[in-house]
Structure 1
Amino acid sequence: MKSRTFVPACIVAVVLLGLYLILPVASQSQTTSQPESHKGSTGKTVLDLGAKGDGKTDDSATIQKIVDAAVGSLRFPRGQYRFTRPVVIDLTKVGPTSISGDGTATILMEGAGPAFHFIGSHNGTANPKTVQPVVWDQERTPMVDGIEIVGKHPEAIGVAASKTMQLTITRLVVRKALHGIHLYGRNRNVSIDDCHLYDNEGIGIYLEKLNLHQINISDSHISYNKQGGIVVRESEICNIQIGNCDIEGNMGQETQPTANILFDISEGLLQEGAIFGCTIQHTHDAPDSANVRFIGNGVQDPRKVGNFAIADNAMSEVSVNIHLKHARGITITGNTLWEAYEHNLLVEDSSYIVLGSNLLDRNPVYRAQTKNANVFKDCTDCTLNALNILATQGVPAGLILENCARMNITNCSIRQCENGGILMQNVKQSRISDCLITEGKKNFAIRITGGKEIQVTDNLVSGTVEFDQGTVASNNLTVD
């Protein structure tokens, strides 16, 4: 029988006491051995790294130092952080960087320029083959999430970016600044989601002098920015998606044309994209206000804005709900338009426009004295189908076409328009068929002056059908 060895209890107690004294020292040694530059994510917030967030101290130099130390993740807890100059995130130098909060942090931007300015080096396209290794290693997917920025300077901007790849901005609030988000130079694959860009002196989302492919703007509230909601100027942009947003009141007393959504491509190019599922409205008292306005270049390089869909939106309370000028290849369908002080639709010098299944309404709940005109001028090769036009006032007809060619108008319902149904002036090679036009006997249902090679057939009308030589009319039924 083997004997057992017993360890005295006093020896066990001594060993445990030694471990208790040694372990904290080892843990402290491991913590203090971390480099002072904080390279890599530390799990610390900007308050842990020296910022004050007290609304009094200028935190801009401290935040810039944290960025330059390549921390990577800048987390802003609750507080007010004063900036007197932009924090520049040079991605090539500092590596992948994110700015984040939980919605309780406010940046008070007291200097000119953007509170956060992302700068990359991407000169390629959206094709992965054109992306240099440094972009994937150091620059990809800069992010801003869960931060409020309040402008305290006339030239303050929320976030700006140039030459970035996969810029992602979510849950950002910008107010009282000049612009909310400003993209310029060159960017690729931008995502803006769940943001509030509200009550700024300039533009909510400003794409200026920009070369950009692939941008998604979704589920955001872009309102009461005095120079436009989403504005594109002097840019070359392909593939822009604007969906499920509330965009309203983005016009003040500016001198140049603007809109809740403005694509001004008098210089540049904009093709491929969609505006869908948005509520777009206000403000009728701004000069030449519009909800959606496309302006192409009709002189040097015509119709450089197009290949676009405008679908399933609700638009109201402006001078013009949809204005297209020098545009090509646009489908407008499933929209509800009303309360347009001048035009529900104004389409000028445009071609290959498909206008189908839209409600151009005068809702009796809205008592404003609006004209709600629907006008095509100098247009060619357009299809107008299944429009429901109600109660235009103070204009010659519910639907007006001037100096157009190859216009196909079918299956439309036009009712209670003050002076007439469809008016064609100097139109050629076009047709009106299978429409229901009830205007009463005192007004014309269809009037055609000038032009040639017009067919009018199989319409049910009240009122007169009037035309000059060059029009063939058949099988139209007039009812009381």
Structure 2
Amino acid sequence: MSSVFDFGAMGDGQSDDTDALQHAINDGGGSVVLPRGDYRITRPLIVDLAKVGRVAISGTGGLAKVIMAGVGPAFFLVGTHEGNADPLNFKPQIWQKERMPTIDGIEIEGAHPEADGIRIQGTMQSTLTRVAIRGVRTAVHVSRRARNILIDACHFFHNTGIGVHLDQVNLHQCIISDSHISYCRLGGIRIEGGEIRNLQITGNDIEYNTIRSHAAKFPAEVDAPLSTAEIYIDVQNGSVREGTISSNTIQATITKGGSNIRFIGAVEKDDQVGFWTISGNLIGNQDTNIHLTRAWGVVITGNQIYGAETRNVLIERSRNIVVSGNMLGHTSDFNPRVTATGVRFEDSHDCLVSGLQIQDAQADTKTGPPPVPKGRQALVELIRCQRLNVTGCQIFDGTPIGMLVEDCRETTINNCQIIDQRETPLMEKGLELRGALEHVIVSSCQIRRATQQAISGTPHEGLTLMNNVTT
């Protein structure tokens, strides 16, 4: 174990400790300890694992701060692993010299507009624990190839870029857990391109990753913010599959075009983002809470989803989607008069929606009806879909329509309650059927307290209505 003081570091926040810290990394025998202090550096500290061997950098329980006063990452972990995680693909030197580089118990603070926190490239088993990164562009940037990354018990706070950026990376086996990722301007966790498998995002608090807390530095974005999300996966040129988003709080400040969770798949192949489970999360307070485009094989279950400006869930051009057992609505603290909840499936097929409780705005009769979001026609909208099954859902207080089914085929709506519970009903129609319908069945539903029609739409041979209760 080598203290960086033994290599000439001052830790006074004023001296340039770059050379001393780099010397400790290169020649300190692997265990590099930063005692309590503020270590100012002006260029990246390169951890070249092929040269220096196994390395663990420790800040003695979080008492050390590294101030990055130059361009680029404070720490750059560089390995040479080119295979996958199969033991047969490892060169001997990876286990001998490069496995599990670790950074623990250190704060990194940016003191340059182009400073970053940690960059990871070509490594096996990189492990970041108890690391706090603030005031940089991107807290953790992973690029090219990497395997088996662990990020645990970290704080990525108030950065001008992204919390964790997986950037055109070939990455398998990554876990981001038990961390606080907040107030990062361009998103909490952002994935762009690459090939990613086996990604777990669990037990985190991911919130307020928008322009709001950076408005003074980026005034032009206040009225025209960049489209972002707390968790943003864009694989129009790549693939991200086999992942979970579970047991997180994922909340934000409402931003035009923003989402809490957004998946964007490839144009030509609709299975490049999928095989995901989104479960047991608290998700709220954005323009659209969950937005999937060209996704495949996604299960959304057991979440509390609230406070959308436009919709809770928007699924478009996707297939094999299951949305089950979620509660969608408002909390009493987030303006229950705003009409903003809802689910929309558009141009999607082979989807199952079950066991949802969806409740729209609670209007005060003294102040009039709440405004309806632009472009929203019903609380639940099924548009140009095929082989959808909607069953066992409670759809309360839709404005102006409870459920809209338009140009759908082979779709079943069964055992649902579409009811206006408000003292003065505002739901004009409970269920509206439009356009070309083929093999559509509506059965055993309760549709009550619509002010105009319980079920609207011209009956024809492609539609079957049976055993419904309408009052």
Is the TM-score greater than 0.5?
yes
What's the counterpart of residue 58 of structure 2?
100
The residue number in structure 2 matching 1:281 is 251
Secondary structure of 1:48's match? helix
What residue in structure 1 maps to residue 446 of structure 2? 460
Greater mean alpha carbon deviation, residues 67-76 or residues 259-268? 67-76
How many Å apart are 1:370 and its aligned residue?
4.7
Q: Does 1:365 pair with 2:357?
A: no
Matched, 1:127 2:119: no
Q: How does 1:8-27 map to 2 (within 5 A)?
A: none
- Asked whether the 8 Å contact 2:399–2:426 carries over to 1, the reply is no
1:447 corresponds in structure 2 to: 432
Check conservation: 2:70, 2:112, Cα contact below 8 A. Answer: yes
**Residue number among 307, 312, 321 corresponding to 2:289 in the alignment:** 321
Which residue number corresponds to residue 302 of structure 2? 334
8 A contact 2:341–2:358 mirrored in 1: no
State whether residues 360 and 397 of structure 2, in contact with CA within 8 Å, keep that contact through their aligned partners in structure 1. yes
The correspondence of residues 40-51 of structure 1 with structure 2, limited to 5 A, is 43-51=1-9
Q: Which runs of 5+ in 2 are unaligned?
A: 212-220, 362-370
Q: Distance in 1 between matches of 2:444 and 2:429?
A: 16
Partner residue, 1:154: 113
Secondary structure, aligned partner of 1:197: strand
Q: Which residue of 1 aligns with 2:144?
A: 185
d(CA) in 2 for partners of 1:76 and 1:313? Answer: 37
Q: Deviations for 1:355-381, whole angstroms, at most 9, x for unmatched residues?
A: 000001122331173522311110101
Letter aligned with residue 258 of structure 2: S
CA distance in 1, matches of 2:225, 2:91: 42
> Could you tell me which of 401, 414, 418 is aligned with 1:437?
418
Unaligned runs of 5+ in 1: 1-42
TM-score (norm 2): 0.90
CA distance in 1, matches of 2:292, 2:70: 38
* CA offsets 1:48-97 (integer angstroms, 9 cap, x no match): 33211011110011111121215201111100000000000100010000
2:234 equivalent in structure 1 = 264
CA contact (8 A) 1:403 1:427 kept: yes
Matched-pair contact (CA < 8 Å) for 2:399–2:427? no
C-alpha contact (below 8 Å) 1:70/1:95 kept by paired residues: no
Q: Is the 8 A contact 1:248 1:282 kept in 2?
A: yes
Measured after TM superposition, the shift of residue 396 of structure 1 is 1.9
1:79 maps to which of 37, 40, 45: 37
Runs of 4 or more, structure 1, over 4 Å off, are: none
| Structure 1, 356-365 or 330-339: larger mean CA deviation | 356-365
Once the two structures are TM-superposed, the CA of residue 308 in structure 1 deviates from its matched residue by: 0.2
Q: Distance in 2 between the 1:420 and 1:438 partners?
A: 10
**Structure 1 residue aligned with 2:133:** 174
Q: Which amino acid aligns with 2:78?
A: I
Alignment partners' CA distance in 2, 1:44 and 1:122: 27
The reply on whether 1:473 has 2:465 as its aligned counterpart is yes
Mapped to 1, the partners of 2:148 and 2:347 lie a distance apart of 36
CA distance in 2, matches of 1:71, 1:158: 24
Give the drift of 1:455.
0.3
What is the letter of the counterpart of residue 356 of structure 1?
S
Q: 2:399 — aligned with what?
A: 418
Rounded to whole Å, the distance in 1 between the matches of 2:304 and 2:339 is 15
1:206 has 2:165 as partner: yes
Name which of structure 1's ranges 286-295 and 216-225 shifts more when overlaid on structure 2.
286-295
Alignment counterpart, residue 194 of structure 1, candidates 140, 153, 175: 153
Report the equivalent of 1:248.
207
Q: Which moves more between the two structures, 255-264 or 406-415?
A: 255-264
Q: 1:48 to 1:56 in 2, by over 3 A?
A: same
Residues 62 and 441 from structure 1, CA distance in 2 versus in 1: closer, same or farther, beyond 3 angstroms? closer
Structure 1 residue 442: deviation in Å?
A: 5.9
Does the residue aligned with 1:85 lie in a helix, a strand or coil?
coil
Bigger CA drift: 378-387 or 419-428?
Answer: 419-428
CA distance in 1, matches of 2:42, 2:427: 68
Q: What residue number does 1:164 align with? A: 123
Q: 1:37 corresponds to which residue?
A: none
Instruction: Give the AA of the match of 1:398.
Output: L
Matched to 2:176, the amino acid is I
* Aligned-partner Cα distance in 2 for 1:365–1:67: 51
Is contact 1:339–1:370 with CA below 8 Å preserved after alignment?
Answer: no
- The offset of 1:44, in angstroms, is 3.3
- Secondary structure in structure 1 of the residue aligned to 2:66: strand
Could you tell me how far 1:417 is from its partner in structure 2? Answer: 1.5
- Indicate the RMSD between aligned Cα atoms, in angstroms: 1.4
For 1:186 and 1:370, the matched residues in 2 are separated by: 45
Amino acid at match of 2:445: N
Rg larger for: 1
> Partner residue of 2:216?
none
One-letter code aligned to 2:240: L
Equivalences, count: 435
